[in-house]
Chains A and B, each alone.
Chain A
Amino acid sequence: DQQVKQNSPSLSVQEGRISILNCDYTNSMFDYFLWYKKYPAEGPTFLISISSIKDKNEDGRFTVFLNKSAKHLSLHIVPSQPGDSAVYFCAAALNNAGNMLTFGGGTRLMVKP
């Protein structure tokens, strides 16, 4: 199942700089896109979402951009902090009865002090 892909397995960024995590999808019917953060030995933690009818959503240091024509979304974290070091998953969902999330493979972000 390659409906949601994160092509970069890892990303290293200096503290204070911007982190940009990318995600591509193939199913144009997805209604929502979400970003989750995961630390080792913990479950995914919801960060931010965006509806397919919008192109940008911002929450504090986190901004998600959606480019529907390119079937691409990105998560911007600015400024990056060492505590942001984690695995980031993008996920997509149809707004139907089950609302299942389809996850990408994750990108490991390392923020260096």
Chain B
Amino acid sequence: EPEVTQTPSHQVTQMGQEVILRCVPISNHLYFYWYRQILGQKVEFLVSFYNNEISEKSEIFDDQFSVERPDGSNFTLKIRSTKLEDSAMYFCASSETGAPGGGYTFGSGTRLTVV
């Protein structure tokens, strides 16, 4: 079964450093998403991306965050200057049609620890 692949599985970074989280969505999917889950809290929407531009973003997704599809296969989330509160599990997801009724396919996540 096709998978969404995320790398690395765990990243530790110092506060103030830039991090790039990488995702390889399912090959025929056109809609891409980032979500995060802070330990003990809900899964939260960050951003949706279609046709090389952001479709929607949450209040969490401020100027410190950016997304990019640098080539035909990767989808990245960059945090420019990490803060302690950015520590969370970050999930990438993709969808063929973008229709929520069909569900999105999530990756296994990257655990980001900011120290």
Contact = CB atoms under 8 A, between A and B. Distances in A.
A97 B58 CA distance: 13
A59 to B, nearest CB: 11
B45 A96 contact: no
Interface string A84-109: 00000101010111111111111000
Nearest to A34: B103
Interface in B59-94: 91, 93
A99 B98 contact: yes
Interface residues of A, number: 29
Contacts of A91: 43
Interface residues of B, number: 30
Contact of A51 (B41, B44, B101, B103): B101
Given A31-B100, A45-B106, A103 B44 contact: yes
Contacts of A93: 100
A45 to B, nearest CB: 7
Contacts of A47: 103
Interface in A1-29: 1
Given A41-B108, A97-B56, A104 B42 contact: yes
B103 to A, nearest CB: 3
A61 B41 CA distance: 29
Contacts of B55: 97-99
B101 to A, nearest CB: 5
B4 interface: yes
Given A31-B100, A49-B103, A42 B45 contact: no
Interface of A: 1, 31-32, 34, 36, 41-47, 49, 51, 89, 91, 93, 95-106
